């Protein structure tokens, strides 16, 4: 009797985890498609860190939560704030503001990676700021996200949860008549 309850409880837990995984992946895919590839969760975008310029505070391969900045906020950051901005080659960079200047073009930030020896060569126009880093980091999860965004990874993460759920359901259904006779 006790063994049956443990097996039933385990089955429920595994089924619940697989369902949550399947629903989470589907929700993330739908949100990504609806927002043009930039899903937001409670006003935050999750970004993968690809370099070690902000180590040790932000490790390579981490995921960071970045709060999107509106037009007014883009000009109101302070020295010491960590911002994410569009770089010269349309890549996102997350660095710390070291200096702020007002020019004819508007507010300009001098930035530097915490692990870099010198400030960035090009100042950042306030209009190029995408958002600010709030301190939330998930170490190494960026490697998984980068793999998931690759063609093989997206196929794996889209199909695997469904296949696991169907396989687990088939095994549970197949074993049910065998266990009911006891």
Q: Which two tokens stand for residue 174?
A: 């197949």
| CB neighbour class for 123 (10 Å; exposed up to 12, middle 13-18, buried from 19) | middle
Is 147:98 a contact under the CB 8 Å cutoff?
no
Q: Report how far residue 30's alpha carbon sits from residue 36's, in angstroms, rounded to the nearest whole number.
A: 10
CA dihedral 28, 31, 37, 43 (to 10 degrees): -100
Catalytic pick among 24, 48, 51, 68: 51
- Quick check: is 53 catalytic? no
Catalytic machinery residues: 51
């Amino acid at each position: 009797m006790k063994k049956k309850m443990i097996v039933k409880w385990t089955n429920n837990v595994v089924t619940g985890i697989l369902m949550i995984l399947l629903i989470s992946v589907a929700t993330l895919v739908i949100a990504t498609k609806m927002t043009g590839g930039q899903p937001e969760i409670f006003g935050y975008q999750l970004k993968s860190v690809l370099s070690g310029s902000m180590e040790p505070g932000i490790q390579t391969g981490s995921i960071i939560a970045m709060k999107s900045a509106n037009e007014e906020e883009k000009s109101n950051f302070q020295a010491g704030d960590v911002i994410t901005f569009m770089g010269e080659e349309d890549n996102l960079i997350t660095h710390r503001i070291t200096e702020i200047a007002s020019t004819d073009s508007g507010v300009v930030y001098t930035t530097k990676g915490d692990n870099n020896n010198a400030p960035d060569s090009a100042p950042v126009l306030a209009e190029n700021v995408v958002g600010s880093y709030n301190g939330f980091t998930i170490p190494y999860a960026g490697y998984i996200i980068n793999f998931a965004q690759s063609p093989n990874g997206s196929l794996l993460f889209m199909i695997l949860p469904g296949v696991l759920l169907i396989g687990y359901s088939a095994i549970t259904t197949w074993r049910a008549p065998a266990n009911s006779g006891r």
